[in-house]
Amino acid sequence: MEEELIRQELGQDGDKNESNVKHGAPPKPVCDLSDPRYDICEISGDARAIGVNRTILYVPPTAERGADGQEWAIKDQSRKYLEYIEKVKVKTLSAAESLVAPECTSQHAVPAVVFAMNGLTSNPWHDFSDVIVPLFITARAYDGEVQFLVTDLQPWFVDKYRLILANLSRYDIVDFNKDAGVRCHPRIVVGLRSHRDLGIDPARTPRNYTLLDFRMYIRDIFSLPPDGLGIPYKEANKNASGGVDGGTGKRKPRLMLINRGRNRKFVNIPEISAAVQAAGFEVVVVEPRRDLRLEEFSKAVDSCDVLMGAHGAGLTNFFFLRTDAAMLQVVPWGHMEHSAMIFYGVQAKEMRLRDVEYSITAEESTLYEKYGKDHPAVSDPESIHKQGWQLGMKYYWLEQDIRLNVTRFAPTLHQVLRTLQE
């Protein structure tokens, strides 16, 4: 009964009202390669997974076997346009092939999801956007009763996100590329559903999941305080003399200043830190590394009222903020406001965070120092973008650092402070 409910809940297109297994219809693979972002294949019935040759076989019931089989090639990563993602073969066996199908070496009572951990991972934004959020969309409704068969497994990824992976699946992760057995599951899903960059479309999720639900889910996994608590400085000051709005010895709002390590980094951190403190904040400066322990870092972010950083992967830590906390995104030079909004701003608002953006001037970019005010990258960013994304990437994403004009930046800090006090 539970398996049938899951089948009905996880329809072919992720639509909660559709099912790829109709009452009375024989089980069979249903593969959809039409979505521009991802491919998906769902096999119900006698499904057999052979990892070493990246193959999923479906053995039809005797009465349903035909003279010919059918075959699909599925990219099991949520960004199927990436050329270097190897494909997984999904094959319905013919009558003749079914008679000599490889025997199961292990039988499993729960479904399996086959997906890749490579691609653009190692960047936290891509870790979440390309794997973790799509995996949540695809597997959350199984309530842990599902096993992951991972192609191109990345040990560092498994270690860093082990709490999330262990919550989504109660079973050992299988390094599918090295798995020489024939694993038989009652249902196998190949690929991960992905609605948009770092986003969830509730209408296409089994239980109307939203990105806010995902943030709450992440906070619960990392044992962060429940949503009923206010932002940290207000909670800390509730018992102070005079209450939240007055009194002495009160805690200031805490701002976590994330500084990138390679590009789009702040080159005048001491000056920025002093300006943040002068505006009325306590400041914590961090430089996140890939090997940081999320169990500890998530609690550090949760203790802050503001997460500030230049447009980039470090802002992905906004999943650990409390409701009504603020994300202060510094938008680099080069007409990057649209990217700032679609990659972080929209998501912050969907998750009930306060989104504040500060766009730097040309003079605040190190491109100004490097090339001079008359270079097109400084004087005419639009002309750079018209020459293709590669040139825009070179100048505005890879070569640029930021020297904030703290005098110009001060009103934005005061805006954030007023926002928190509302």
- What pLDDT, on the 0 to 100 scale, is given for residue 290? 72
CA torsion through residues 99, 102, 107, 109, sign = negative
- What pLDDT, on the 0 to 100 scale, is given for residue 15? 44
Q: Quick one: average pLDDT of 283-293?
A: 86
* pTM more than 0.85: yes
Asked whether 359 and 329 are in contact (CB, 8 A), the reply is no
Q: Quick one: average pLDDT of 98-117?
A: 96
- What pLDDT, on the 0 to 100 scale, is given for residue 417? 96
CA distance 352 to 322: 9
Q: Which of 6-20, 63-77, 270-284 has the lowest mean pLDDT?
A: 6-20
Kindly state the percentage of the chain with pLDDT values over 70. 91
Q: What are 356-359's contacts with CB under 8 Å, separation 24+?
A: 356/326, 356/327, 356/328, 356/329, 356/412, 356/415, 356/416, 356/419, 357/328, 357/329, 357/330, 357/331, 358/328, 358/329, 358/330, 358/331, 358/409, 358/412, 359/331
Asked whether 29 and 90 are in contact (CB, 8 A), the reply is yes
In 260-331, which ranges are E strands?
A: 282-286, 306-310, 326-331
- What pLDDT, on the 0 to 100 scale, is given for residue 27? 60
Q: Quick one: average pLDDT of 289-304?
A: 91
- What fold characterizes domain 232-238+251-421? Rossmann fold (3.40.50)
- What pLDDT, on the 0 to 100 scale, is given for residue 241? 53
CA distance 86 to 80: 10
CA distance 150 to 154: 9
- What pLDDT, on the 0 to 100 scale, is given for residue 382? 96
- What pLDDT, on the 0 to 100 scale, is given for residue 239? 64
Q: Which residue has the tokens 């004087």?
A: 379
Asked whether 332 and 395 are in contact (CB, 8 A), the reply is no
- What pLDDT, on the 0 to 100 scale, is given for residue 249? 67
Q: Quick one: average pLDDT of 138-148?
A: 97
Confidence of residue 162 (pLDDT cuts 50, 70, 90): very high
- What pLDDT, on the 0 to 100 scale, is given for residue 4? 34
Q: Which residues pair with 422 in a beta bridge?
A: none
For residue range 311-360, list pLDDT tens digits in order.
999 999 999 999 999 999 999 999 999 999 999 999 999 999 999 999 99
Q: Which two tokens stand for residue 320?
A: 């650990």
- Per-residue exposure over 221-260, b if at least 16 CB sit within 10 Å of its own CB, e if not: bbebeeeeebbbbbebbeeeeeebeeeeebebbbbbbbbb
Q: pLDDT at residue 12 above 60?
A: no
- Per-residue exposure over 35-44, b if at least 16 CB sit within 10 Å of its own CB, e if not: bebbbbbbbb
Comparing 207 with 129, which gets the higher pLDDT?
129
Q: Which residues contact 111 (CB under 8 A, 6 or more apart)?
A: 3, 6, 142, 145, 146, 147, 185, 186, 187, 188, 189
- What pLDDT, on the 0 to 100 scale, is given for residue 361? 98
Q: pLDDT at residue 275 above 80?
A: yes
Q: Quick one: average pLDDT of 364-375?
A: 97
Confidence of residue 28 (pLDDT cuts 50, 70, 90): confident
Side-chain-facing half-sphere of 190: CA atoms under 13 Å = 34
CATH 3.40.50 positions along the chain are: 232-238+251-421
Q: Which of 18-27, 218-227, 363-372 has the lowest mean pLDDT?
A: 18-27
- What pLDDT, on the 0 to 100 scale, is given for residue 224? 97
Confidence of residue 283 (pLDDT cuts 50, 70, 90): very high
3-state class percentages of the chain: helix first, strand second, coil last, to nearest 5:
40, 20, 40
User: For the chain, what is the mean pLDDT?
Assistant: 90
